[in-house]
Amino acid sequence: MIPVHITGTAKYLPKTRLTNADLEKMIDTSDEWITTRTGIKERRIVANGEATSAMATHAVRKLLGKTKTQPEEIDLIILATVTPDMFFPASACLVQNRIGAKNAWGFDLSGACSGFLFALISGAQFIKSGRHKKVVIIGADTMSSIVDPEDRNTIILFGDGAGAVLLEPGIDENFGILDFEHRIDGSGGDLLMMPAGGSLSPPSHTTVDNREHYVKQNGRAVYKHAVKSMANYTKLLLDRNHISAEKLTLFIPHQANARIMEAVASRIGLTEKQVMVTIDKYGNNTAATLPIAMDEAVDENRIKHGDTMILTAFGAGFTGGGVLIRWNK
């Protein structure tokens, strides 16, 4: 099997900031509650008319520039999102057209907060098999389009953003994407969902009046599952690959709540220094948190050639997983 290397990372975050002070004016909450319960100080929100494909396009254009890749060279584009511009056409097609990737195929992937990891491993198979040479994996979500501005349980958590990585064949099989473990568990589906707008409950005056086209979450239940699952995926990957916790250079968990990340890190025995945190600035961008955090880690020089890192996620579905990478640069 051909080794799969991540040869570039990029991100895009909209300019508008929604701070905790802004939220204090909109709903019954406080900066103190949000900071202590979630670690979030502000999030980014799209401009009017800006949506998932626009953010994804910005991220991919940066990625192509950084990696000196021509759009025509791209074989495959996978866009992980739960907030596509429209049900169809797929937002991957909108991105493909905007960047001029005229030789690519692609699709959207719905894996909620684990979507980027599911897309990463899906795309990696086409490199491994020798079929493709350049695969673009995107995580992008416009959560501001589906959170209820009157629901203090959810509005405080989510933000908008996009991140992208380029996958290419490598030579050394000790580098790149080394291992993964993914799962879905539909028994937790009703704990985090958007009830209306799909084929079960198509949009109507009633669904809108009942606010069923917004995210509904049982925060406490999801919290417990998130801690347990992300800790388990991470432990499994470390054990299976004979890596001790202290030897892991960087741990990038899905950015849903700072307390969840602390709890997971402490279960595995990781220090604060090993954990990548961006939630304070961007909130929870669903499929975008991991590629955004990875790009930030690269920019901040927190990951160097030969270092190991684990990305892990948990989200609606339930979906969850982890990926072990040895960085090559």
Distance CA 265, CA 257 (A): 13
Stretch of 32-40, 56-64, 194-202, 265-273 contacting ligand UT7, by CB under 6 A: 32-40
Q: Is the peptide bond before 89 cis (omega within 30 degrees of 0)?
A: yes
105 is a contact residue toward ligand UT7 (CB under 6 A): no
Cβ closest to ligand UT7, residue 57 vs residue 319: 319
260 is a contact residue toward ligand UT7 (CB under 6 A): yes
Bridge-based pairing state of the strands 76-80 and 135-142: parallel
Helix, strand, coil percentages, rounded to 5, for the chain: 40, 25, 35
Using alpha carbons only, how large is the chain's radius of gyration in Å? 19
Stretch of 31-39, 90-98, 131-139, 237-245 contacting ligand UT7, by CB under 6 A: 31-39
DSSP-based three-state secondary structure for 322: strand
Question: How far does CA 288 lie from the centroid of its chain?
Answer: 3
Residue 20 CB, shortest distance to ligand UT7, in Å, is 9
Q: Write out the binding residues for ligand UT7, residues 108-167 only, by CB under 6 A.
A: 113, 152-153, 156
Q: Write out the binding residues for ligand UT7, residues 269-308 only, by CB under 6 A.
A: 284
Cβ closest to ligand UT7, residue 37 vs residue 281: 37
**b/e map of 308-324 (b: 16 or more CB within 10 Å)?**
bbbbbbbbbbbbbbbbb
Stretch of 34-42, 47-55, 88-96, 166-174 contacting ligand UT7, by CB under 6 A: 34-42
Q: Which residue is nearest to ligand UT7 (CB)?
A: 219
Q: Write out the binding residues for ligand UT7, residues 187-226 only, by CB under 6 A.
A: 219-220, 222-223, 226
Stretch of 7-15, 74-82, 97-105, 254-262 contacting ligand UT7, by CB under 6 A: 254-262
Cβ closest to ligand UT7, residue 243 vs residue 263: 263
Cβ closest to ligand UT7, residue 234 vs residue 257: 257
Task: Return the residue matching tokens 């980014």.
Answer: 44
What is the 8-class DSSP label of residue 5? E
**Through-space distance between the first and last CA atoms of the chain, rounded to whole angstroms:** 21
91 is a contact residue toward ligand UT7 (CB under 6 A): no
Residue-wise DSSP of 163-179 = EEEEEEE-S-TTSEEEE
Distance CA 304, CA 326 (A): 9
Report the candidate in 288, 239, 289 with the shortest Cα–Cα distance to residue 260: 289
29 is a contact residue toward ligand UT7 (CB under 6 A): yes
Catalytically active residues, by annotation: 113, 254, 284
Return residues touching ligand UT7 (CB under 6 A). 29, 33-34, 37-38, 113, 152-153, 156, 219-220, 222-223, 226, 256-257, 260, 284, 315
